[in-house]
Amino acid sequence: MSTIETIQEQITTHPVLIYMKGAPNAPQCGFSARAVQALMSCGQKFAYVDILQNPDIRAELPKYANWPTFPQLWISGELVGGSDIIQELFDSGELATMVSAAVED
C-alpha cells in the first residue's frame, strides 16, 4: 500500500482524525497541543496519527491535502484545517457539533 493509499484509508476509516506532532496525551508542539485540547474538550472519541513517527505521511499529507502545516483535522473525510481554525470552531461551539455529527453517522 502506498503512503497516499494509507492516508486515504485513515481518512475514510476514522470519522474524526487529527494528524499531529506527538500523541494527544503528549503533544510535541504547541499548535498540536492547542488543537488536541480543543478536540478532547468535545468529549468524543477520535483517532490520531503522530506524524513524527510516520515520516512518509508527514512528507506526503501536505501535498495530498493541499495544506502545508500540522496539525490537520479531518472530519467525515473532509479537511477542516489546522490549529487556528480548530480553535475558532471550538470557541464558537461549532467543533463539538461537527465532531458529534461525524461520530454519530
What's the pTM value of the predicted model, to 2 decimals? 0.96
Q: Is 42 annotated as a binding residue?
A: no
Q: What is the pLDDT of residues 58-101, one digit of tens each?
A: 999 999 999 999 999 999 999 999 999 999 999 999 999 999 99
Crossing angle (nearest 10°) for helices 83-92 and 94-104: 100
Q: Is 90 annotated as a binding residue?
A: no
Position 105 scores a pLDDT of 75
Q: Is 34 annotated as a binding residue?
A: no
Arithmetic mean of pLDDT over the chain? 97
Q: Is 46 annotated as a binding residue?
A: no
Q: What is the CATH number of domain 3-104?
A: 3.40.30.10
Write out the three cell numbers for 1: 500500500
- Map out the domains of the chain as residue ranges: 3-104
Q: Are 65 and 14 in contact (CB under 8 A)?
A: no
pLDDT band per the 50, 70, 90 thresholds, residue 27: very high
Position 89 scores a pLDDT of 98
Q: Is 63 annotated as a binding residue?
A: no
Contacts 24+ apart (CB under 8 A), 35-38: 35/71, 35/73, 35/82, 35/83, 35/86, 35/87, 36/71, 38/86, 38/87, 38/89, 38/90, 38/95
Q: Is 83 annotated as a binding residue?
A: yes
